[in-house]
Amino acid sequence: MQKNDLHDYFLFPSPVSVLDCGAYEDVSENLVKYIYNLKNTHNRQANENRSSIGGWQSKTDLLNDPEFANFQEYIISHIEEITSRYDCVFLLDSLWANVNPRGGYNLSHVHPGSDLSGVLFVQTSLDCGNLVFENRSLFLEFNLLQNMNLHLKKQSNYCPNFQIQPIPGRLVIFPSSVPHFVETNCSNEDRISISFNLKIG
């Protein structure tokens, strides 16, 4: 008996790109020192309305800091390794540093006004908290998510959320409209990262 021809199409995905940057050890030590010096100089939270709880975030204009110029080429070249796959030019709109000590975390949020957003993990350790993306269709398709078989879920990443482990030198770029948060840092070492927003030029 001839089998029916069944196809599954997983429509409208959100492109999340993960790049483990090469030669990160060449910049990591100085980048960590730069961020701690920045934090010690500007220890007050830059904006109380941002997502960090129990942590510190710099102002979003690090691209204008002459001392940051030492790291710009490295970071931008890896960002462009991902964005070059789009048929447009992206402009780096804002960039800032994050330091989350033990107990610090980031609330669920989006980045309005941007097209892509991203994060470079600068310093991490085991149990420092994963980056978690939330399914924008969770409310609308909750019953489907609860009842879809495991094979299809794995094949399509059709799940309530998707977690990415922070690793030093790991760069993650994603659509700015995708809700995301970072789990509580349960380690004894600060979780340090650099976040940024990109706009189509």
pLDDT at 75: 97
pLDDT at 53: 94
User: Per the domain annotation, does 34 fall within a domain?
Assistant: yes
Token readout for 134 is 């939330």
User: Per the domain annotation, does 166 fall within a domain?
Assistant: yes
pLDDT at 26: 95
User: Per the domain annotation, does 146 fall within a domain?
Assistant: yes
The number of CA neighbours under 13 Å toward the Cβ of 135 is 17
pLDDT tens digits, one per residue of 54-107: 999 999 999 999 999 999 999 999 999 999 999 999 999 999 999 999 999 999
User: Per the domain annotation, does 68 fall within a domain?
Assistant: yes
Contacts of 132 (CB under 8 A, 6+ apart): 161, 162, 163, 164, 180, 181, 182, 183
Q: What is the pTM of this model?
A: 0.91
Sign of the dihedral through C-alpha 125, 55, 197, 23: negative
pLDDT at 2: 77
Q: How many domains does the chain have?
A: 1
H or E element at residue 172:
strand 170-175
Residues of the chain with pLDDT under 50: none
Note whether 81 and 165 are within 8 A (CB): no
Supply the range of the domain harboring residue 110. Answer: 17-200
User: Per the domain annotation, does 5 fall within a domain?
Assistant: no
User: Per the domain annotation, does 84 fall within a domain?
Assistant: yes
pLDDT at 148: 83
CATH code of the domain covering residue 77: 2.60.120.620
pLDDT at 89: 96
